[in-house]
Amino acid sequence: MRNVGKEIHTRKIYGIVKLKADIIFASDIRLCNRSGYADKKSLETTLAVNPYCSYKMLYNSSKNSRGVAIFYKTSLPFTEERRMECEDENFLLVLASIRNTTVILGAIYGPNLPDLDFYTRLEAALVNLGNYPVVIGGDFNTTYSPLPLESNKDVLNMLSLTNWPHSKALKKFVLDKN
């Protein structure tokens, strides 16, 4: 969001909210520009007032890189109970009550470079929030499957696997949660 013009900003947000999903996970939102100017108000206004559906925003973004957010419909019975944020702005986890059901929502923007400690931090934050159903969305910057390119449906038309050590770590993370 930091470097797009008003018209492009509006078109991008409209493209997302026109689906009218109850909850939207966003990654790489960059709510601050290189000069240190944060313009979250513009995004909040576009989310709240658009021709499709009104949303509120929870976010972890204070830099001109990275950053994640969770948008939820204003009409959704939603109460934030607690949150866990990653200081490098790679994730935001929210313990929330939605329609009288407690869940953990997570917006993720995985590291571009190998950082296996990311999954350790994510797991610790999830444990800290308690034993509730978990819904995570965003961009892990890897694929779930570490299969070779020719047999990997996650990487159609890609030249190489992205961040292969993270692919293995993501698969272990998911399997450990089951």
CB atoms within 10 A of CB 14: 13
Q: Is residue 32 scored above 80 in pLDDT?
A: no
Q: What pLDDT, on a 0 to 100 scale, did the predictor assign at position 41?
A: 82
Q: State the pLDDT confidence band at 40, using cuts at 50, 70 and 90.
A: confident
Q: Is residue 139 scored above 50 in pLDDT?
A: yes
Write out the two tokens for 147. 């299969």
Mean pLDDT of 69-90: 94
Mean pLDDT of the chain: 86
Residue 12 phi/psi, 5-degree rounding, is -65, -45
Q: Is residue 56 scored above 70 in pLDDT?
A: yes
DSSP string, 93-111: EEEEEETTEEEEEEEEE--
Which CATH superfamily includes the segment(s) 6-141? Endonuclease/exonuclease/phosphatase (3.60.10.10)
With beta carbons less than 8 A apart as the criterion, state whether 44 and 69 touch: no
The reported pTM is 0.86
pLDDT tens by residue, 105-138: 999 999 888 888 998 999 999 999 999 999 999 9
Considering only residues 2 and 130, tell me which one the structure prediction assigns the higher pLDDT: 130
The residue among 59, 66, 96, 103 whose CA lies nearest residue 79 is: 96
H or E element that contains 81: strand 78-85
